[in-house]
Structure 1
Amino acid sequence: MADLPTIRWGIVTTGLIASWFVEDLVLNRPDAKVKHIIQSIGSSSLEKGQKFAKQYCPTQTPQLYDSYEKVYNDPNVDIVYIGTPHGYHYRDCLQAIAAGKNILCEKSFAINAKQAKEVFDAAKKKNVYIAEAMWLRHRPLYRKLQELLHQDKVIGEVTRVYSDFAVELDIPSLPSTSRYKDLSLGAGSLLDIGVYSLTWLAGGLEERGSENTELPRIMASQRHEDGIEVSTVAILEYPDGRQGVSSCTTKAKGAPSRIFAVYHGTDGHIEVSGDAPSVPESFTVWARQKDSGSADKVLFDKEDYEKKEYTFPKVGRGFVWEADNTALDVLEGRKESKIVPWATTMHVLEIMDEIRRQGGTVYPGE
Structure 2
Amino acid sequence: MAADKPTIRWGIIATGLIASWFAADISIPRPDAKANHIIQAIGSSSYDKGKKFAETHVPGKSPTIGTYEEVFANPEVDIVYIGTPHAFHKQNCLDAIKHGKHVLCEKAFALNAAEAREVFEAAAEKGVFVMEAMWTRFFPLVKSLQHLLHTDKVIGEVKRVFCDFGLQQDIPALPAGSRLKDPALGAGSLLDIGIYSLTWGLLGLGQQTEMPKIVASQHLVDGVDVASAVIVSFPQGQQGILTSTTFAKTPRSFCRIEGTKGAVVVEGFVASAPASYAVHLDGDEEPKKYEFERIGKGFYWEADAVAVDIAAGRKQSEVMPWAETIRVLSILDEVRRQGGARFPMEG
Is TM more than 0.5 here?
yes
Structure 2 match to 1:283? 277
Q: Does structure 1 residue 274 correspond to structure 2 residue 274? A: no
Q: What is aligned with 2:146?
A: 146
| Identical columns (%) | 55
Which one of the candidate residues 305, 312, 321 is aligned to 1:341?
Answer: 321
Distance in 1, matches of 2:5 and 2:210, equals 40
Q: Which residue number corresponds to residue 34 of structure 1?
A: 35
CA distance in 2 between counterparts of 1:238 and 1:170 reads: 34
**2:195 is aligned with 1:201:** no
**Equivalent pair of 1:273/1:282 in contact (CA under 8 Å):** yes
SS at match of 1:89: helix
Structure-2 separation of matches of 1:330 and 1:269? 37
Residues 281-327 of structure 1: CA deviation (Å, up to 9, x unaligned): 100001234xxxxxxxxxxxx63xx5210000022111111111111
Q: What does residue 221 of structure 2 align with?
A: 225
Deviation at residue 122 of structure 1 after TM alignment: 0.7
Q: Distance in 1 between matches of 2:156 and 2:11?
A: 45
- Asked whether the 8 Å contact 1:268–1:287 carries over to 2, the reply is yes
Q: How far is 1:332 from its partner?
A: 1.3
Q: 2-side partners of 1:223 and 1:170: how far apart?
A: 13
Per the alignment, residue 175 of structure 1 pairs with: 175
* TM superposition shift of 1:172: 2.2
SS at match of 2:301: helix
> What is the letter of the counterpart of residue 348 of structure 1?
V
Distance in 2 between residues matched to 1:310 and 1:140, nearest whole Å: 11
What TM-score does the superposition give when structure 1 sets the normalisation length? 0.92
Gaps of 5+ in 1: 290-301
Match of 2:297 in 1: 317
CA contact (8 A) 2:14 2:43 kept: yes
> Which stretches in structure 2 are left out of the alignment for 5+ residues?
none
Residue 20 of structure 1 and its aligned partner are, at CA, apart by 0.3
Amino acid at match of 1:51: K
User: Residue 343 of structure 1 aligns to which amino acid in structure 2?
Assistant: A
Confirm or deny that 1:7 pairs with 2:8: yes
Matches within 5 A, 1:285-300: 285-289=279-283
What is the distance in 2 between the residues matched to 1:237 and 1:81? 34
Residue 130 of structure 1: how far off its partner (Å) = 0.2
Question: Which residue of 1 is the match for residue 22 of structure 2?
Answer: 21
Quick one: which of 230, 249, 253 aligns to 1:253? 249
1:216 aligns with 2:196: no
Structure 2: how far apart are the matches of 1:11 and 1:135? 16
Question: Which amino acid counterpart does residue 248 of structure 2 have in structure 1?
Answer: A
Residue 310 of structure 2 aligns to a residue whose secondary structure is helix
Give CA deviations for 1:257-304 in whole Å, capped at 9, x if unaligned: x11000000000000011110111100001234xxxxxxxxxxxx63x
Contact 1:165 1:276 in 2 (8 A): yes
Q: Secondary structure at the match of 1:36?
A: strand
Instruction: Tell me the distance in 2 between the aligned counterparts of 1:171 and 1:361.
Output: 15
> Partner letter of residue 159 of structure 1?
K
Question: Which stretches of structure 1, 4 residues or longer, exceed 3 Å deviation after superposition?
Answer: none
- Give the Cα separation in 2 of the matches to 1:227 and 1:338: 36
Cα deviation for residue 123 of structure 1 reads 0.4
RMSD (Å), alpha carbons: 1.3
Residue number in structure 1 paired with 2:342: 362
Distance in 1 between residues matched to 2:232 and 2:172, nearest whole Å: 31
Q: Does the aligned pair in 1 maintain the 2:171–2:226 contact within 8 Å? A: no
Q: Deviation digits for residues 317-355 of structure 1, max 9, x if unmatched?
A: 111111111111111111001210101111111111111
In 1, Cα distance between equivalents of 2:175 and 2:287: 48
Count of residues paired in the alignment: 344
Q: In structure 2, what is the equivalent of residue 47 of structure 1?
A: 48
- The 8 Å contact of residues 329 and 338 in structure 1, kept in 2 or not, is answered as no
Report what 1:86 is aligned to.
Answer: 86
Equivalent in the alignment of 1:97: 97
Give the distance between the partners of 2:54 and 2:246, measured in 1 at CA: 31
Deviation at 1:206, TM superposition (A): 3.1
| Contact map agreement 2:6 2:307 (CA 8 A) in 1 | no
Task: Name the residue aligned to 1:294.
Answer: none
Distance 2:190 2:7 in 1: 36
What letter is aligned with 2:188? G
Give distance in 2, aligned partners of 1:334 and 1:231. 38
> What is the letter of the counterpart of residue 99 of structure 1?
H
